[in-house]
Structure 1
Amino acid sequence: MKRPLQSSSSAQEPLFAVSAVALIAATYGLARLGYGLFLPAFAASFSLSSTMSGILSSGASLLYCVSAVIGFRFAGGHPRAVTLLAGSTAALGSVGIAGAQHTMVFAAAVLLAGMGAGFASPALVELVQRNAEPARQGRLQSIVNSGTGFGVVAAGLLSLSLGEAWRIAWVLVAAIAAVSMLAVLRLDGSAGTIPALDRPAPSLLTRSSFRGLARPLSGAFVFGCGCAAVWVYGRATLEQAGGMSAGMSAVVWIALGVGGAAATLGARRLADHAIALTWSVTTLGTAGATAWIGSSQGSLVPAYAAAALFGLAYTAATSVLILWASEATADSAAATSLLFTALVLGQAAGAPLTGAMIEAYGPAAAFSAAALTCAAGALAVTGSRRRVHPPARR
């Protein structure tokens, strides 16, 4: 329990929200998910096959989970320190990517950069609770989570404008991560408050940590397995199988990010409807978009529409996970870390499997299988009648 914030926190809330969105954009949309966008350039520079690209993506996902576990344990009591870790790892890893001359150095930098996202989610869930009025916390959590879409847009613009100069792009990613981290720490209105009651750090090894989370954990894992196809191989598939130019595929990625950013428009609706409805709609929408992208053969308008739908549905689904965590457990930061860990573990499992399927059966079959897996994630709410509400309404 923390002493509630009054006065100055309300005035700083919009600026804090912008900085938090920027940090999610930097850690998720750029430092972590930017790997898939720049994969064609990385593969050419470091001779990466589809299978090896998937293995590296899986390694980044596993280290994301390590950082999420650390965030799970410490964000509740030390959100500012975890925020510092989020921005620092994303920035340092991005600098390493920009300067890598050897494959091993590049791989290590990719792994480090991806850790920032794992730290960011639990830290910002806690900071949003400290800096927002209770009635607005649910909506603000969804808005901050949509920063992924803005980061994907930024990554696409960097790729489109800089072309083969991808090293410069990753220097800029490092700068964005560092600046957004400093902005969050500067605008955090809870910086000087004193805890009213110390709460013990949560443990992953207790039953209470998982109580109420069985359905969302299973749904997040299965959903993550299917999502890996687009995040890791989406752009490469559009170029190699769909026949798109590098510039056109970058614009498709921008459309994906625009769709993700547009999820902010539905933040209130997500917070006001039943989980059984919102989770089903968003996971099935992601599934349809995944199959659509895999079957796009050089058709620009359908590819743009499919990418935008994927970005919108995926980002909304992750927002539902955050709201589900807040509803299911008392410690929403810890629960969010567990659910996002399950999501990324699913991506870690799905990435190499999709890569192997692409090499064996082609992208259309691999993306169709990924779409069916995304759709299977919707089964997690079968029979559930739980509703999603902002914390203040519970």
Structure 2
Amino acid sequence: MKLPSSTSFALLGAALIAISYGLARFAFGLFVPPIRAELELTPYVIGLIGALPLVSFVLATVVAPLAAVRLGARNTALLSGGFGTVGLAVISQASGGVSLGVGVFACGICTGLMMPALTAAMQALVKRSLHGRVSSVMNAGTSVGVVIAVPTILFMAGAWRYAYASFAVLAVIGMVATWFFIPSVSRVTPSTAAPPPPITAMQWMRLFRLSLFAFMMGFVSAAYWIFAPDLVVSLGNLPSGSTGWLWLAVGVAGLGGAVVADLADRNNPPITQALMLMMLAASLALLAASPGQLAIAAFSALVFGLAYMSLTGLYLMTGIRLLPGRLSMGPVLPFIAVSLGQATGSPMVGLLVNDFGYAGAFSMFSAIGIVVAMLSPFYPRSLEQEADEGAEEETGLQAAYDYQLQDEKGEPFRHESIPVKDS
């Protein structure tokens, strides 16, 4: 088997993420209106079912690093694809809330196993300096999966069972590609290599702050992922098929998330996070304000897609930088936090929809997003970024001191001319 290059691996990883994240997980919200109508489920029940794949994602993510070490990257990815295939097939045959819940729960396990499996393969195939960029490209695969799901709702409106059956077939194709192109390895560590340094208290504090922001972003975004299509159908009286345009906009805009996350990681992550969270909150408010205008609803989806994918990519890269050399923890913790936030937010949205309606529930979640965005100055930076900023600040202070001495003496200042005096 010829091992793929870094670029080929990134594209393959993006394709597998498209199946596991885009189709097995996030496409569910697109089909909520026809599923809820056919199975006669309330918004609160849909909210509970929507939380199940997020719970199973967290459970799978906890054991996934160990599975990647014991089973290897290829077998772990195959296990992920197997759960995805079964889950998608069960959803296609669901007869009620219980069977639907079983299917989405299995899909959550698929999602939780895939990224750690790909991360294990990346450690063996990709140079460490490219880990952040390759991870960002793979993360953008979620948008690709969302886009793939769109034609099924546009041209097969109401035929959600056939759509999920076709997703199961794609999952099988993904398993075949995994068998041929993902190496059957886990991270290779030389016997003489020094163990990674222990995680310091400062690193734990930064990870805690990162996880809090990721949790709150997941909490706010749950409203859009689960209930946005149902909102425009129930409140805006748009046909079910038109909701495909929302997910198309989310997927297309989300492709830009990889670029934004990469630029933000190398420039100013706190400011970028604040901007993207404000955009996320604005997309919820905009959709709640004009659910019957398809053009405005699609624009809100564009804003949401760019904001969400940029934020997940940013959290992924920040986690890698906060814990260099620990890919089983750094990028995994923020993803767990996002899923926990979504698992918490999904039933909360359903409860608020029952009590206050769609507009009220989305407005409340938008306000929460704005508050979290205002706290972005507390977003953690990596040690390298803080060191660079400290060096720049020290250089600026030295220049000001030099200027002051020059002004007092009337002649240029030279560092070597300063005598050292004993106190």
Q: TM-score range by the shorter chain?
A: 0.7 to 0.9
Return the alpha-carbon distance in structure 2 between the equivalents of residues 287 and 388 of structure 1.
30
What does residue 374 of structure 1 align with? 369
**Whole-Å Cα distance in 2 between the matches of residues 193 and 60 of structure 1?**
28
SS of residue in 2 equivalent to 1:334: coil
Q: Which runs of 5+ in 2 are unaligned?
A: 389-423
Q: String of CA shifts for 1:10-31, please: whole Å, max 9, x gaps.
A: 8633332222111111111111
Q: Secondary structure at the match of 1:284?
A: helix
1:69 and 2:59 are equivalent in the alignment: no
Letter in 1 for 2:113: F
Q: Deviations over 1:42-71 (max 9, x none)?
A: 112211100000011122211111011112
2:219 matched to which residue of 1? 225
Task: Return the match for 1:259 from 234, 240, 253.
Answer: 253
From 341, 346, 371, the counterpart of 1:351 = 346
Q: In the alignment, which residue of structure 2 is the partner of 1:80?
A: 74
Indicate the residue corresponding to 1:55 in structure 2: 48
| Percent of paired sites with the same residue | 27
2: CA distance, partners of 1:249 / 1:358: 19
Instruction: Quote the Cα distance in structure 2 between the aligned partners of 1:198 and 1:180.
Output: 37
Aligned counterparts of 1:121 and 1:328: Cα–Cα separation in 2 = 18
Does the 8 Å CA contact 1:326/1:335 hold for their aligned counterparts?
Answer: yes
Does 2:300 correspond to 1:327? no
2:140 to 126, 143, 146: 146
3-state SS, counterpart of residue 231 of structure 2? helix
- Structure 2 letter corresponding to 1:360: D
Moved more, 142-151 or 376-385: 376-385
Alignment of 1:109-128 (within 5 A): 109-128=103-122
Corresponding position of 1:5: none
Q: Output the amino acid matched with 1:261.
A: L
Alignment of 1:25 with 2:18, yes or no, is: yes
- Give the AA of the match of 1:382: P
Following superposition of structure 1 onto structure 2, how do residues 11-22 of structure 1 map, counting pairs within 5 Å? 12-22=5-15
Deviations 1:106-146 (A, max 9, x none): 22112111221111222223323332233332222111101
Q: Is the 8 A contact 2:34 2:240 kept in 1?
A: no
**Alpha-carbon distance, 1:207 to partner:** 8.3
Query: Is residue 2:50 matched to residue 1:36?
Result: no
1:95 counterpart letter in structure 2: A
Check the 8 A contact 1:71/1:123 in 2, yes or no.
yes
1:169 aligns with 2:156: no
Aligned to 1:215: 209
Counterpart of 1:140 in 2: which secondary structure? helix
CA drift at 1:376: 3.5
Following the alignment from structure 2 to structure 1, what is the Cα–Cα distance between the partners of residues 52 and 340?
10
Q: Aligned equivalents of 1:142 and 1:388: distance in 2?
A: 20
**Pair 1:186-2:171 in alignment:** no
Match in the other structure for 1:3: none
Q: 1:241 to 1:305 in 2, by over 3 A?
A: same
Could you report, residue by residue, the CA deviation over 1:58-90 in whole angstroms, capped at 9, with x for unpaired residues?
A: 222111110111124444663333222221111
- 1:122 and 1:334 in contact (8 A); partners too: no
Please say if residues 73 and 334 of structure 1, whose CA atoms lie closer than 8 Å, have aligned partners that are also in contact: no
Aligned 8 A contact 2:265 2:318 in 1: no
The one-letter code of the counterpart of 1:254 is L
- Superposition deviation, residue 232 in structure 1: 0.5
Does the C-alpha gap of structure 1 residues 176 and 377 become closer, same or farther in structure 2, counting only changes over 3 Å? farther
Q: Which runs of 5+ in 1 are unaligned?
A: 1-7
What's the secondary structure of 1:335's corresponding residue? Answer: coil
Letter in 2 for 1:147: G
For residues 197 and 209 of structure 1, do their structure 2 counterparts lie closer, same or farther at Cα, with a shift above 3 Å needed? Answer: farther
How many angstroms apart in 2 are the aligned matches of 1:60 and 1:143? Answer: 23
Question: What amino acid is aligned across from residue 301 of structure 2 in structure 1?
Answer: A
Cα shift at 1:210: 4.7
Structure showing greater radius of gyration is 2
Structure 2 distance, partners of 1:198, 1:308, is 50
- 1:312 matched to 2:306: yes
Letter in 1 for 2:305: G
The residue type paired with residue 290 of structure 2 is S
Whether the aligned pair in 2 keeps the contact of 1:283 and 1:375 (CA below 8 Å) is: yes
What do you get for the CA RMSD once the two structures are aligned? 3.0
Q: Is the 8 A contact 1:238 1:298 kept in 2?
A: yes
Q: Deviations over 1:359-378 (max 9, x none)?
A: 21111111111112233443
